[in-house]
A and B are shown apart, each in its own frame.
Chain A
Amino acid sequence: MEYFLQQLINGLTLGSIYGLIAIGYTMVYGIIGMINFAHGDIFMIGAFIALATFLILTSVLGFAFLPLVLLIVLIVSMLFTAAWGWTVERIAYRPLRGSFRLAPLITAIGMSIVLQNFVQISQGARVKPLPPQIQGGITLMQGDTETGAILVQLSYMQIIIILTTLVLMAGFTLLISRTSLGRSQRACEQDRKMASLLGVNVDRTISLTFVMGAALASVAGLMFLLLYGVIDFYIGFLAGVKAFTAAVLGGIGSLPGAMLGGILIGLIEVFWSGYFSVEYKDVAAFSILAIVLIFLPSGLLGKPEVEKV
């Protein structure tokens, strides 16, 4: 029981990170119907920017007050990563707007390769370790087993991650449902041509979608950095694939779906590692994706697609 609870908490934490990345996939898919393969690498870029900012603030400028440092790191990495997201869209996707379906998919894969290799060359291929910054936590429960005591701990780190995710999700939902930007976004999702006829600046709306997706991915990057303490140029691929899996699982195009899918993938992965085998955790996540899609092709929260004849 204690073990289960602990895994549940861990799964929720990991799931929050996947969910934040998945939102970027789902928004882009919703608005222009393409898999933004480079999004996982945008997440990786965000993690690197967060790392560098953190180092500048702590070791160069000598800031010591951790909450302030983290806040500045968050803002800086969101801004700079957003610039990356904007640029990727501008270079690789905008010229292909209205073109054929596979062309932007290939440029996205190309961009993903470019970003990975750019970071590998400019920052080196070795992993970057960061010692744990936030330690301690709340002990929720204590249980005794044959092998010894098991603590159910909710670390401060996990609290921060889950809380930040919740706040961002709430703000984001408001943004999409209440503001004019959200309205233009939903309009473009429905019918891009009509939206542009009604005076919605489609290019700008799409750019902003990428900017927002990248900003959220950078938050996920920062959390990943703090949680695992190790990043390299290759973390984007697997995290990206899993986040996309999460977006599809939740029903692509649906924001709550992305979050739900992210949490489910996180839970599946953590429970599988906890109870069965660590090696096959990715197999579990992907197999469940395949099973869900086969029986529920529009995902958990997606709108079922009626075949138009």
Chain B
Amino acid sequence: MASDTTVPSASEMKPAGAQALREARSDAGGPPVKRYTLRDTLIDAVGAALLTGVLGFFFLALRTEIAPGGLDITTRWVLWFTAVAIVFVGRLLLNLFVFRTERPITRRLRRSSGGKVAVRPGWVSRAIAIALFAIAAFLPFLIMAIFPGQQRQLIDLSILILTYVMLGWGLNIVVGLAGLLDLGYVAFYAVGAYSFALLSTHFEFIGFWTALPLAGMLAAFWGLALGFPVLRLRGDYLAIVTLAFGEIIRVVLLNWYEVTGGPNGISGVPKPTFFGYEFTRGEDGASALLGLEYSTIHRFIYLYYIIFLLALLTNFVTMRLRKLPVGRAWEALREDEIACRSLGINTTNTKLTAFSIGAMFGGFAGSFFATRQGFISPESFTFLESAIILAIVVLGGLGSQIGVVVASVVMIGGIELLRNVGFLGNLLPGFDPVQYRMLIFGLAMVAIMVWKPRGLVTTRTPSAVLKEQKKIGADMVSQGEGH
């Protein structure tokens, strides 16, 4: 028999897996301590600068412009030279103080964050969770009290962040718990949004609250329908098929004019009502019902609490599921699918439940998105959206609920805040921070991953405890699909 004698490869040696990873890491990360001379350092910085020069030549120094009679080429030597100089100086400083010195200035940072995870007692993380919950529960009022001038934008931003938190939590079930790489999560978001939009525009009597469960069920159904044939695929094949599915949905939405309106999308999606009352001015508006003077902000606050409750529901269900057999089977599936099967777990069904429950929450978030915007079009459901949601899950730390919150706040909040830093534009003429949002977003993704490959929150909380709850370090936990 083949496996009797073959030398087990690293991935096969399951119990030693974590250890092997650690070894591999120390192999990769720890070159023997070498003393660098100033000369080496300079040469390195010159190399980096030269590389920048090469890379930037066609993009910074030159610019092709559409001109009468074809394309014209303009030069921007100053920009190019500045970039090269910045890289030279930056690399030199980094070399001198961080990379190539025995006492890097970042070493304290590294010690506090990168090393062995200090075992925090359970109550600390519980306290953090409660504090976050309390802040989130009163956030609109905090914003109104502290930033009355910008309350609309800030509450809107909070709604956006919470939408991503909810999407992240939904995807976390699929990727973080069950270890199935899904690159087309946005498809279910789209299914939810379009289901609600279509239902509500075709049937008068369907409002947000009736459509919400329907949209979730439809998305879950789509999750099942897609999952059934493809969940047999392993790892990256699953990823590419889900990506393809996401694209298929988008292309169909874009071209099926009669139903989806094509690129024009669907407008006039109704706003959510408050026990049948809309947030309008006048006697029969919800504000009047509550005895408040009408203000547009009420609708935003109401939207905020809707998404807050939806997100809480997602979190509650996920936390419950983790402690149930099905949730434990998801995590076991992520750790070792073959062992799962040897224990009598129907892995296909287990994967399908993860896929469809994740899809259902995506569908909920989608219908919320539709009602918030009042307008949807295929534009909002591109691969980039899937990538952002996946990035939030991975950056936050796979399987970690708090991690998703932190990552959403940092990535979405940080990026949206760039819109508001107009002063930078005054500082550097021609610098428009809005334009650089996605560039910075991408750079932040790379930087955070290189800094913390396991994400920001790297411990796993066991789902069942006998005597004392101990957090499990990330290097023990597998990421699924045989790795």
Chain A interface residues (CB < 8 Å from chain B): 29, 33, 35, 48-49, 51-53, 55-56, 59-60, 80, 83-84, 87, 91-92, 95-107, 109-114, 116-119, 121-124, 126, 128-131, 191, 193, 237, 241, 244-245, 248, 252, 277, 279-280, 282-283, 286-287, 289-290, 293-294, 297, 305-309
Contacts and interface: CB of A to CB of B under 8 A. Distances in A.
Given A87-B51, A113-B442, A279-B251, A49 B230 contact: no
Question: Which interface residue of A102, A103, A283 has the most chain B CB atoms within 10 A?
Answer: A102
Contacts of A49: 58
Contact of B248 (A100, A283, A307): A283
B237 A293 contact: yes
Given A103-B454, A107-B445, A112-B442, A35 B248 contact: no
Contacts of A124: 63, 65
Contacts of B241: 289-290, 293
Contacts of A92: 446, 450
A137 to B, nearest CB: 23
A287 B248 contact: yes
Given A80-B58, A83-B55, A107-B446, A289 B240 contact: yes
A109 B237 contact: no
Given A51-B64, A124-B65, A293 B446 contact: no
A256 B155 CA distance: 54
Given A35-B236, A297-B237, A308-B12, A106 B449 contact: yes
A191 B479 CA distance: 21
Interface residues of B, number: 75
Interface in B378-425: 383-384, 387, 390-391, 394-395, 398
Contacts of B454: 100, 103
B25 A286 contact: no
A98 B442 contact: no
B424 to A, nearest CB: 15
6 contacts: A52-B64, A109-B387, A114-B442, A118-B59, A123-B63, A305-B234
B408 to A, nearest CB: 15
B42 interface: no
A245 B240 contact: yes
A84 B55 contact: yes
A135 to B, nearest CB: 16
B73 interface: yes
Contact of A130 (B63, B71, B73, B233): B71
B449 A60 contact: no
Interface stretch (B32-40, B122-130, B135-143, B432-440): B432-440
Nearest to A289: B244
